[in-house]
Structure formats: C-alpha cells, structure tokens
Amino acid sequence: MGPYKLCAFADEASPQLSDQIRALCENDLEGLEIRTISDKNIVDMRVEELRVIHRQLQDAGLYIWSIGSPIGKIDITADFPTHLDQFKHILELAVSVQACCIRLFSFYLPKGQAPAQYKDIVFERLQTFCDAAKGYPVKLCHENEKGIFGDTADRCLQIHQALPALRLVFDPANFVQCGQDTIQAYTMLAPFVEYMHIKDALSDGTVVPAGQGAGNIPYLLDHYKQGVLTLEPHLNHFTGLQQLERPDLHSKLKNCYASSREAFDAAVAALKLLIGR
C-alpha cells in the first residue's frame, strides 16, 4: 500500500510527554496529533508552553502534525463567543509549532431533535471558524464524530460542499458507530479527505484494532493510497478518555490490554500489518 506518514494520538499510550515520545519512537511513528499532555488539554496550553513541548519532540526527531482540538465539540446551544476565543487561541498555538492542521467538530445536537433544524446555525459557526483562520498557514479539518451535526456522510457532504475551505478527517470507527457504511461514505467524501484517523469498530460499536472491525479499513487504505494516517486506538481506558466524548456517546471498549502502552502498541502493529511495514 501507499507511502503513508504515520502519526498518533500518543496520549493514549501515556499522559506524560516523555512516555509519549518513547511510544512514538519505539513504534517508528513520525509525528503527533497533539491532544493532551500531563492531563492538560491543548486548548488550555500557553504558546510558550507548547513551544517547549515542540522542542522536545523535535529533539527526538518528531513533529506536531495536527492540533487535535476540542473545538466544535460542545452543545450547539452553548456559549459560542467564548468558544470562538478558544479557537483563535488554537490558531496561535498551531502557528507557533508549524502544525499543518487543526481538527475540529460540528457541534453536539440536542437528543431527539432533527439535525436539519440546526443546519443554518452549524454552518454559520463553522463559517466563522473559517473566516477567523483566513491568512493562517493551517488547514481546518472537520472530523465525523458521533452525535454531532456532521456524523453521517450525507451531512458531512453538506458541510464540505457549503464550506470549501474546510477539509475532512475521515474516521471509520465513528461512521460505523453511527450505522454508516464506510465504503459508501468514502465514495461520497473522498475529494474532501485531508487525512484519516485509524480506528476500527464492530457493528455493535465496540472499538477493535484496525482491520478487525466493520470499518473496511483495508479497502479505505487501498483507495486513500497515500497521505497521513493518525492512529487513535481507543482500545483501552486511558487518562482523559471520559472527557473526550459526551457521556451518552462513550465508545464501547473491550479493555482487554494490560496497560495503555500495550493497547497503543497493539494498534500500531495492526495498522503496520495492513500496510506491509
């Protein structure tokens, strides 16, 4: 398969930066999609604090590929001006470490209500992010997280057709957990894909190593062919997991590994088996 660049959410191996660096290096991964360090989310870091982290990564031969931000991962009814300020801070962080991308979301919707009635406000807020990012050397990438407006291929397509400045992080497991066929989704969304998250799931939503679920990851890799793959294992309970998803939308984990590092290594091994490394 293609000449991929392999990155990861290394906070799934350990909350500590030194251990994250060790996990990346010992698994021959190239970069980090940074999300949390020492239990501090990226949105709460200062620019100088992140620069120190960046220097340590560079010393180890690693780079920050993307900012795995929580932007847009709030209720659509929540306070937006404060969230927009957080996004502007994330922009400054991304530039300070030469990150290529910022991962974001399209807002949690009230349970039991039709997504269509929130389309206009979702698009307005995403457009506000795009406007704020104009002139910055970074790509905004929407992830198809479950429970948000853009959790199905149809609604992702609506987003990307309406907002051409916004790219897509394609997450197979999230589509599976929403009952969305991933081959159909990729066929619809391929022109908008900037990079992929490597996470797989069974049809009941349980997260499993890449290639062992219903995510059709071998097919996706064969058609994606080249680019960046960010491992997001979700194979074991790790520090901060509960804060990443709305309580009623938590991923089902087998939790069958002895440690977070063991689960991380298993996720890397499964992906490398698929791509022949």
Residue 219 or residue 241, greater confidence: 219
Predicted confidence (pLDDT) at residue 1 exceeds the cutoff of 60: no
Coil, strand, or helix at residue 141?
A: strand
Edge-to-edge order in the sheet of strand 206-208:
200-201, 206-208, 252-253
Q: Provide the pLDDT for residue 251.
A: 60
Predicted confidence (pLDDT) at residue 250 exceeds the cutoff of 70: no
Q: Provide the pLDDT for residue 256.
A: 79
The encoded tokens of residue 265 equal: 């290594």
Q: Which CATH class is domain 4-275?
A: alpha beta
pTM: 0.93
Predicted confidence (pLDDT) at residue 156 exceeds the cutoff of 50: yes
Least confident of 33-42, 61-70, 205-214, 242-251: 242-251
Residue 253 or residue 72, greater confidence: 72
DSSP 50-116: HHHHHHHHHHTT-EEEEEE--TT-SBTTS-HHHHHHHHHHHHHHHHHTT-SEEEE---B--TTS-GG
Predicted confidence (pLDDT) at residue 241 exceeds the cutoff of 60: no
Mean pLDDT of the chain: 93
Q: Provide the pLDDT for residue 112.
A: 87
Residue 258 or residue 201, greater confidence: 201
pLDDT > 90: percent of the chain: 88
Give pLDDT tens digits for 110-127. Answer: 988 999 999 999 999 999
Residue 142 or residue 255, greater confidence: 142
The ranges assigned to domains in the chain are 4-275
Predicted confidence (pLDDT) at residue 277 exceeds the cutoff of 60: yes
Predicted confidence (pLDDT) at residue 177 exceeds the cutoff of 70: yes
Q: Provide the pLDDT for residue 226.
A: 81
Q: In the chain, what are the helix, strand and coil shares in percent, each to the nearest 5? A: 45, 20, 35
What is the average pLDDT across 223-240?
A: 84
Give pLDDT tens digits for 65-85. Answer: 999 999 999 999 999 999 999
Q: Provide the pLDDT for residue 252.
A: 66
Answer yes or no: are the C-beta atoms of 100 and 66 closer than 8 Å.
yes
Helix axes 260-275 and 217-224, enclosed angle (nearest 10): 60
The band of 93, judged by pLDDT with boundaries at 50, 70 and 90, is very high
What is the average pLDDT across 126-137?
A: 98
Residues 6+ apart with CB under 8 A from 134: none
C-alpha to C-alpha distance for 212 and 216, rounded to whole angstroms: 9
